[in-house]
Amino acid sequence: MLKRFIKFYKPHKYLFILDMSVAFLAAILSVFMPMLTRTLLKVHIPNKDLNGIIAMIAIMGGIIIFKSVFTYIRIRWGHIMGVRMESDMRSDMFAHLQKLSFNYFDNVKTGHIMSRISNDLNMIAEVAHHAPEDLIISVFMIIGSFIAMFHYNVSLAFIAMIPVPLLIVWGLTYGRRMKGGFRLVRKRIADINSSVENSVQGIREVKSFTNEHLEMEKFGHINFSFQRAKEKMYKIMSVYFAGMTFLTDFYYLVVIGGGIYLIFIGQLDVIDLLAFTLYVNFILRPIERLVHFTEQFQQGSTAFERFIEIMDIEPDIKDNKNAKTLDNVKGSIDIDNLTFKYTSSEDWVLQNINMAIPAGKTIALVGESGAGKSTIASLIPRFYEAQEGSISIDGNNIMDLKQKSLRDNIGIVQQNVFLFDTSIRENIIYGNPNASEEEVIEAARKANILDFIQSLPDRFDTLTGERGVKLSGGQKQRISIARAFLKNPPILIFDEATSSLDTESEAYIQKAMEELSQNRTTIIIAHRLSTVRNADLLYVINEGRIVEQGTHDELMDRKDYYYNLYTKNMIL
């Protein structure tokens, strides 16, 4: 872990060198202050050496000025280094999240991800800056102080070393306990973030079912768990700091007591004891800094462990070593003995699915909810991978294709539309970031949303709100369809694309879909008869298996499963 952490310093090595250099110089200069004070009291003042006194005071003043400059450099550029490292880690984590498959996001709460990418990385940035400089300042101040103390009086210097092992043992023992406490607190923070996110995103459901009390109860339970975790952590921390306070005060007492005894037996003078007392203060300050460093290091190492946990997760879906690009796509799709289940379930969602979809044709997947229609649509762009069987496009197994190349050639309109919290233009242009304004307008026209957009005060610059909350379901769906129009792919998948539209809007969209589907391979998943009856071929799915296939008229003539769905109004 330490090696992995250190690599984030490499792009900022010059800032690191600057930070460590000024920290080292500040520590060395600090050690000289008691030495100069002792020289003043023991040499220049008794000899009434005015020039020497002035020189010593001038040197001490210079040290103070240099230390102030070094502090400015250390605080400013040290923090900047930490912020840049935090930014690098956040970029790496976000990029890694983009590589992970749907399976990961199906099983991890968004609040937990947000906690790691914000709170955890902020803590790591603080450690990245403070940990090495605190360590350098503390170590060199302690070493420098002991060198001076041994030079002045070996006996008292040895006495001054007695409490040091106790401080180290105490710090290491309770440092480990604090690490476990901080780890638990981090998990509870993630739980709170997740709970708040769920409640806020589902606020309409909460209020429509008048379940505010239920949300408060759930949040209260999570909040209490967080409270208990912090109380436990602070209990450990209080013992830790109380022990450290006792040991540091005991340290001071040991040195004073030992010094008085040496003065009593004539082996030390008062001025040297004063110098030792000053050095004890210089030793205790870095020890306090090390105490703070230990606390911060435990929090930072816990946060970095959580960062590494995500970075070590391998994507379920990867490009093969020799994956190729899908070029000149005609759009024929062959599905052979496809069998699939989600990793979180033991039940098979699809079993032995076989389909032959000619290029440029429109096929429909029909069946009751939960039959597996949308799962098939998710397997074609390789959002998930089947346990058995294969899917080929133009004779190319999708497992041998680059994911980006595969998905660039497939346009998808989801049943549950997601709009980004930005303008209508930005949401439409997401289908093709390089599209011109004219192309955006044309896509909106084809999706039957242009008139509505032009009626708005800000037109295409109108903000949609979080998840498109400022728009109706039909308007969101049509913007999503405009996005697919703009992408203009050779393969189209409409997963309940018209489910949120009223009858009038559906007629316009149906016409637009037919226009867009010309000479393109189109897969339609829908319950409405008007959407699927004109398809070239219908596949009827029941409990993960294809039970019928044919045109609408052929299936109606058979008077089998499809016919029963239709007559029972399960296809509206």
Coil, strand or helix: which one is 242?
Answer: helix
The answer as to CATH 1.20.1560.10 being correct for domain 2-311 is: yes
Kindly report, residue by residue over 153-162, the tens digit of the pLDDT.
Answer: 888 888 888 8
For the full predicted model, state whether its pTM sits above 0.75.
Answer: no
* Range list for CATH 1.20.1560.10 in the chain: 2-311
Kindly report, residue by residue over 432-447, the tens digit of the pLDDT.
Answer: 888 888 888 888 888 7
Dihedral sign computed on CA atoms, order 186, 191, 196, 197: positive
Question: Quick one: 331-409+491-509+521-572 is in which CATH superfamily?
Answer: P-loop containing nucleotide triphosphate hydrolases (3.40.50.300)
pLDDT in the model for residue 200: 67
**545 with 353: CB under 8 angstroms?**
yes
Quote the tokens at residue 110.
């968004």
Backbone angles phi, psi at 265, to 5 degrees: -95, 5
Other CB atoms within a 10 A radius of the CB of residue 39 amount to 19
User: Looking at residue 1, what DSSP letter applies?
Assistant: -
Other CB atoms within a 10 A radius of the CB of residue 329 amount to 20
Task: Name, in order, each residue with C-beta under 8 angstroms of 447's C-beta and a sequence gap of 6 or more.
Answer: 478, 479, 481, 482, 485, 509, 512
Q: Where do runs of H (alpha helix) occur along 265-326?
A: 270-311
Residue 572 binned pLDDT confidence (cut-offs 50, 70, 90): very low
CA–CA gap between residue 113 and residue 106 (Å, rounded): 12
Mean residue pLDDT of the chain comes to: 81
Kindly report, residue by residue over 411-465, the tens digit of the pLDDT.
Answer: 888 777 777 778 888 888 888 888 888 888 888 888 778 888 888 888 888 888 7
CATH number for the region 416-488 comes to 3.40.50.300
- Name the one residue in this structure whose structure tokens are 């990793």: 343
Kindly report, residue by residue over 2-44, the tens digit of the pLDDT.
Answer: 788 888 888 999 999 998 899 889 888 888 888 888 888 888 8
- Name the one residue in this structure whose structure tokens are 């699915």: 353
User: What percentage of the chain's residues is helix, strand, coil (to nearest 5)?
Assistant: 65, 10, 25
CA–CA gap between residue 194 and residue 113 (Å, rounded): 9
Coil, strand or helix: which one is 343?
Answer: coil
Sheet containing 350-357, strands listed edge to edge, beginning at the edge strand earlier in sequence: 350-357, 333-340, 388-393, 396-397
CA–CA gap between residue 226 and residue 284 (Å, rounded): 34
User: Looking at residue 293, what DSSP letter applies?
Assistant: H
Kindly report, residue by residue over 196-241, the tens digit of the pLDDT.
Answer: 766 766 665 666 556 677 778 878 888 888 888 888 888 888 888 7
* Range list for CATH 3.40.50.300 in the chain: 331-409+491-509+521-572, 416-488
